[in-house]
Amino acid sequence: MFIHDLDCGWMEHPFVRSQFLLSCESEIQKIRDARIHGVVIDCSRGMDVDAPTLAQAQAATEAEVTALATTATSRVRFSVGEELQRAATVRREAVGVVRTVMQDARLGKAVHLDEVGPVVQNITESILRNAGALLGLLQIKNKDDYTFLHSVSVCTLLVAFCRSRNLDDERIYQAGIGGLLHDTGKALVPDAILNKVGRLTDAEFAIVKRHPRDGHDILLRTPGIGAIPLDITLHHHERRDGSGYPDHQAGDAISELAQMAAIVDVYDAITSERCYHKGVAPAEALRKLYEWSKFHFDPALVQEFMRCVGIYPVGTLVLLESGRLGVVVEPHETSLLTPKVNVFFHTREQRYIKPETVDLSRPLGFGGGDRIVRHESAEKWQVEPLRFMQVA
């Protein structure tokens, strides 16, 4: 058979490529040993098998995801447009602090919580005003600054996730500290390995897998660091089936906040464009998380995360029934299938149109009268949806 896709994250399988012709039984065993529970095969390039087609599997997942679409979301205090400028400042300052933390860690210096704490507070306040503004901006990642931006994204997503679950303020703050500092150990990983284009060797992968423990050791030397940031840093790569690292914890042995951090860490990683990995759309990433939750994550927590960010997260490019393309700017308070969308391009007429905000929860004649058909690829249409987060 020809393997078209190993249904897992890029660093979770032992093969040089994720597409290859199976040539021996040992390769099948390697797939089993890596605890990969499903693969996609290309029947035009290899043997067929009696299994659901990709379309059938995707349709089944979509039906299950759609069933989660009714929920209650946090009230938006300011519009995306009102919050974008403040969110941009928060993002810039947060990246600067993470950069300093990484540089200090590389030099053997202690992390200064008095610099990290205000960043977490600013992120929390931006989320309170309008979570979508900062989360939307964080989808824009410069490949050279990925490590810093990823840490800010994980912090932001984790704070939003905690708030949606009504955790108390102190736990949210400590979780935010953990999210911002969770990858501190990567300061000790050589850049040549972090940014390697090709597949990592076993020796290189072993170095990367040291970063949770290295980060934990660095934070242990930080005066005033709490138990929650230490736990998140050490265990954000653990998986419920025991396939994670560094301690191979399983099930409820992994703390709730570490499990939440693992979910947001994977979500941000697979939506990001890297030199060795092509990012997927946020909506597609959520569906992958949902599929992987059967083994790697707590399904209930994944479902809560999906309700937190929305079936179509803010910043997602969507195709409407009218043929218009739009970017999601605000979830509906009770129905995740009817967010507010800024439309800006007509696919049938192949032209940009005057941007306007469409509230999909409203009927025709009251600013709505349309519906989402599916999420779309910005690359396919050669558009930049995040430019239209704000309607002039």
Whether residues 193 and 332 share a domain: the answer is no
Q: What is the mean pLDDT of each run of 10 residues along the chain (392 residues)?
A: 74 67 84 77 83 72 68 68 91 96 93 95 95 88 82 97 95 98 96 83 91 97 96 97 94 98 96 77 90 92 92 92 94 84 94 93 73 90 87 64
**Which residue carries 């399988």 as its tokens?**
13
Name the residue range of residue 28's domain. Answer: 2-51
For residues 251 and 175, state if they share a domain.
yes
Same domain, 94 and 21: no
Say yes or no: 108 and 250 in one domain.
yes
How many other CB atoms are there within 10 angstroms of residue 138's CB atom?
Answer: 24
Where are the alpha helices (H) located in the chain, listed in sequence order?
25-33, 54-66, 80-106, 113-137, 146-164, 169-181, 191-194, 202-208, 211-220, 227-235, 256-271, 282-292, 299-309, 378-381
- What is the per-residue pLDDT for 263? 98
Give the domain-ending residue among 309, 334, 360: 309
Please indicate, yes or no, whether residues 253 and 356 belong to a single structural domain of this protein. Answer: no
- Would 193 be classed as within a structural domain? yes
Give the pLDDT of residue 281.
86
Q: Considering the domain boundaries, does residue 280 fall inside one?
A: yes
- Of the residues 286, 309, 332, which one is the last residue of a structural domain? 309
CATH number of the domain bearing residue 97: 1.10.3210.10
Give the 3-state secondary structure of residue 241. Answer: coil
65 within a domain of the structure (yes/no): no
pTM for the predicted model, two decimal places: 0.85
Q: What pLDDT score does 51 carry?
A: 76
Task: Say if 342 falls within a structural domain.
Answer: yes
Domain co-membership, 301 together with 352:
no
In a domain, 156, yes or no: yes
Cα–Cα distance measured from residue 108 to residue 1, given in angstroms and rounded to the nearest whole number: 50
The verdict on residue 140 lying in a domain is yes
What's the number of domains the chain is made of? 3
If DSSP codes are grouped into helix, strand and coil, which group holds residue 255? coil
In a domain, residue 357? The reply is yes
Sheet of strand 351-359, all strands in order from the earlier edge strand to the far edge = 351-359, 340-346, 324-330, 317-320, 372-375
144 and 193 share one domain: yes
User: Same domain for 205 and 268?
Assistant: yes
Residues 322 and 343 in one domain: yes
Out of 259, 293, 309, a domain closes at 309
Residue 72 lies in a domain: no
Do 191 and 167 lie in one domain? The reply is: yes
Does residue 228 share a domain with residue 199?
Answer: yes
381 and 275 in a single domain? The answer is no
